[in-house]
Amino acid sequence: MKNNDVTLVLQGPLHTRSGALCRGIYNIPTYKKFVGSSIISTWKNDGDKPTKQFLKANNTTYIVDEEDKYSNMYNWMNINFQIVSSLNGIKEVTTKYVIKARCDESYGDLSIFIETMRANPEKLITQKPNYRDGLGQNYSWISDHLMGGLTVKVRDMFERAYSRCYTHDVPHEYAPEFLLKECFDGENEWVRMEDLGDFVFKMGTERITRGMFIETRGEGT
């Protein structure tokens, strides 16, 4: 079901190491089934870009920035570039809700994620952070891969995180999801990975598909 009051922001580098466009870009026609519009927020580069025809057909805006402008910010795990590319895209969102995803990942079904946002409008919605060992029932954890909620609250979270990175008001080797959790005004809610359809999730250099996840980490039904 299409939700015209939801915009998807795809952020981060546009290309794989081989120079091909990231899988999230090719997945935009699938995302279009669930959201009203999309925004690609990436970095200036000399590689292939989505064509104007592709962008128009999928109601997608394409914006770029230059990484050098942000090299003096706190940058553990490239958090500065993640925060900036996310915020650049979210600033262009005019809909009530926003979902932030990564260019190098793809998700086949956003319906339950969007239902969860609507049912919990004051909360930050993320997919369950399966990469945190010993997670248990600690609902204070979030994932910084797939995030969504009211646009005004998500934008505020990234603006606060940007300010802290800019002033280096971040503990040494502080992961992005820790900072973003601190900067969100409210609680969070999870959506299971199994509820996101066919997906490709990146964990460092590891590529995790739905089948791999269910076999090794899945919770079952």
Is residue 221 included in any domain, yes or no?
no
Instruction: Assess whether pLDDT exceeds 70 at residue 87.
Output: yes
> Average per-residue pLDDT in the chain?
92
Report how many domains make up the chain. Answer: 1
State mean pLDDT over 160-184. 95
State mean pLDDT over 90-105. 98
State mean pLDDT over 87-114. 98
Q: Which residue has the tokens 């979270």?
A: 157
Q: Would you state the pLDDT for residue 83? A: 98
Q: List the domain range (segments joined by +) for residue 126.
A: 3-216
State mean pLDDT over 184-212. 90
* Count of alpha carbons within 13 angstroms of residue 161, beta-carbon side: 30
Q: Would you state the pLDDT for residue 130? A: 66
Q: What percent of the chain has pLDDT over 90?
A: 77
pLDDT in tens, 104-154: 999 999 999 999 999 999 999 999 886 655 445 556 789 999 999 999 999
pLDDT band of 212, cuts 50, 70, 90:
confident
- Beta strand pairing status for 124-127 and 147-150? antiparallel
The CATH number linked to 41 is: 3.90.550
Q: What is the pTM of this model?
A: 0.94
Query: How far is residue 4 CA from its own chain's centroid?
Result: 19
- Beta strand pairing status for 35-43 and 3-11? parallel
Is residue 151 included in any domain, yes or no?
yes
